[in-house]
Amino acid sequence: MIRQMRADEYLEYCYPLPEKKQLLRTGDESFTAFWKEAKGSDVLRFLAENVSLAVYCFTFKNTDALRIFFAETLGGRLPVIVTGNHTDFCSMEAVLNRRRKAADYPLTVNAFTIEARAPKIFRHKVILLGSAPYSNIPADRLGLEETDWLERSYRLRLAHECTHYETLRLFGDMQNHALDEIAADVFGQLAAFGEFSAARQRLFFGLEPGRDNCTGRLAFYCQNVVPEERPAVYHAVNAVLADVEQEVTSLLSQKKQKYDIIQQLLCVSIAERVLKF
C-alpha cells in the first residue's frame, strides 16, 4: 500500500546538497555486458531465451518497432528497449518485471527507467520507451505536424529517462516525484526543443495557469498525497514553473554543464521555490 502524505511533506522533498562536488559513478555498470548481444537481434526471441518466459504471455502488436540499443549518459551506457505503441509498452514492462499481466498505465505514461525483476536481469536498470505523443498531447496543441511531434517526443522521452538514471548515479536515488519529473523534463525539452518552456511544461503536466486541478500526467506522480491536498501540490508546481524556466535560461547562458544544472534543480525543493514569490 502506498503511504499517503500531506502536501507540505511532499513539497519539501529534495536531494541533499553535497558538501563538495560529487563525482558521477562514471563507466558502464557491469550488467551492460549482458545486453551487448541484444543489439540488432530479434528482441522477443532474445528476451524469451535470455530474460523471461513471460514474453509468451503477451501478443505484441507492433513487433517491427521493437528494438534494443544503448543510450550514452553521464553515468555510462544504459540499455534502452523501444516499443511501438502504448499497449506493447505496458506488456514489455510486465515482461521485464516477470509479471503475466500488464499494468494499466495511463496514456500519458510511456517511459520508465526500470530496475528489472525478471530472472537473469534482476536489478538490471533498463530504459523502456513507448512510441506515442509525449504526455499524450496532440501535435496541434504545440503547433507541430504529427510526424515531427512523434520524433520530438522520442528525443524528449529518451533525454528524460537518461536524466533519471544520472540522478540515480549522482545521488543514489531517483523518484517519480514532481521535482524529479521537472528536472527530467527540463533536459527532455532541451533535447526536443532547445529550450525549457514553463507553458509547455504545464501542458505536459496537465496544468492550467491559475487553476488548482490536474487533468494529466502530474496526477500520476501525486498518488501518494492525500486526495484532498493534491490541489495544493498542483498549485505549487504550477507556480514554480516560471521560476524554473528563468533559472534554466540563466544557467544555460552561463554555459553550465548538465551535472551542475541537475544538482541546482534537484537540491531546491518546490516548497523553497514557492517561498521566493
Angle between the N-to-C axes of helices 178-193 and 198-205, in degrees from 0 to 180, rounded to the nearest 10? 120
**Which of residues 211 and 234 earns the better pLDDT score?**
234
Partners of 76 in the β-ladder: 73
State the pairing for strand pair 125-130/76-83.
parallel
Q: What is the pLDDT of residue 27?
A: 81
Side chain identity at residue 264, one-letter code: Q
**Taking Cα atoms as reference points, which of 14, 132, 12, 29 lies closest to residue 82?**
132
* Tens-place pLDDT, residues 15-52: 998 766 655 666 899 999 999 988 778 999 999 999 88
Q: What is the pLDDT of residue 276?
A: 80
* Tens-place pLDDT, residues 109-164: 999 999 999 989 999 999 999 999 999 999 999 999 999 999 999 999 999 999 99
Q: What is the pLDDT of residue 23?
A: 57
Q: CB within 8 A of 83, min separation 6: which ones?
A: 60, 62, 65, 66, 89, 91, 92, 128, 129, 130, 131
Q: What is the pLDDT of residue 26?
A: 66
Instruction: State pTM to two decimals.
Output: 0.94
* Tens-place pLDDT, residues 126-137: 999 999 999 999
Q: What is the pLDDT of residue 180?
A: 98
Residue 269 phi/psi, 5° resolution? -75, 160
3-state secondary structure the chain: CCCCECHHHHHCCCCCCCCCCCCCCCCCCCCHHHHHHHCCCCHHHHHHHHCCHHHHHCCCCCHHHCEEEEEEECCEEEEEEEECCHHHHHHHHHHHCCCCCCCCCCCCCCEEEEECCCCCCCCCEEEEEECCCHHHCCHHHHCCCHHHHHHHHHHHHHHHHHHHHHHHHHHCCCCCCHHHHHHHHHHHHHHHHCCCCHHHHHHHHCCCCCCCCCCCHHHHHHCCECHHHHHHHHHHHHHHHHHHHHHHHHHHHCCCCHHHHHHHHHCCCHHHHHCCC
